[in-house]
Amino acid sequence: MRFDVITLFPELFTPFFSSGINRRAYEGGLVDVHLWNPRDFAEGLYRRVDDRPFGGGPGMVMMAEPLWQCLQAIRAARAEAEGARAPVVLFSPIGDPLNHAAVEQWSSSAGAVLVCGRYEGIDQRFIDSCVDRQISLGDFVLSGGEIAAMALLDAVARLQPGVLGDAGSHQQDSFNPALDGLLDSPHHTRPEVWRGPQGEMPVPAVLLGGHHERIARYRREQSLRLTAQRRPELLGRARAQGLLSQQDETFLRDSTGL
């Protein structure tokens, strides 16, 4: 899969692609990422990519023409390499929230063109004529779309075969269908007793017993409890889809009252 990223700050991505376990996906070509700077396609001595907004107001707005010329170059490069037109994605506060289901779709796709906005935004005419989808990380505003693009690329990369050390690791992630879309359970490691600020804190005994069925049930109950406390709407969705067993429902009723 190939992602082409339109960004005024391609240097921000360099350490991202070479650090952490996900670098296997980028270095191995499982997720092929190309960076494009719209300033390279701007005209004039100063290669200007932004200007004042019509109607007044603070800040500057990214101009449509450099973005369009950049996109044209990307489409030509992709057509030469693959012959397929990729969707154009803009990271924006008004976009659809990025969730696990969307990440899974992108992880098995041919990729996309990711547009990272800056300043007060992008000329709406480019959005109306060129953007296929808009994506948001949440109800807050970033200085630009680069962090959002990295978030999507990171989430997609870790789902590629061979990237994580254990092929089944992501199956236990929060929101994964393997967990019925619930939150993951807590995790513990050595030492068995940690002497922290609250005194001695032992690992739950069930995790030390080696009884796999009991461990699995404990983790399921912890997942149910956390989801009920932190994200009850996920619990409601799992119920509506018939994913909770009678044992699950009994535990929830007795422990949380839900």
- Residues annotated catalytic, as ranges: 93, 120, 158, 173
Q: Which long-range contacts (CB under 8 A, 24 or more apart) does 41-47 make?
A: 41/66, 41/69, 41/70, 41/73, 42/66, 42/69
**Residue 108 DSSP class:** T
Which residue carries 């494009």 as its tokens? 36
Q: What angle do CA 191, 193, 197 make, to 5 degrees?
A: 110
170-187: b (≥16 Cβ within 10 Å) or e: beeebbbeebbbbbbbee
Query: How deeply is 45 buried, as exposed, middle or buried, from its count of CB atoms within 10 A (0-12, 13-18, 19+)?
Result: exposed
Backbone angles phi, psi at 125, to 5 degrees: -65, -35
Q: Which two tokens stand for residue 26?
A: 């980028």
Please, which residues have CB within 8 angstroms of residue 220's CB and are 6 or more apart in sequence?
A: 185, 248
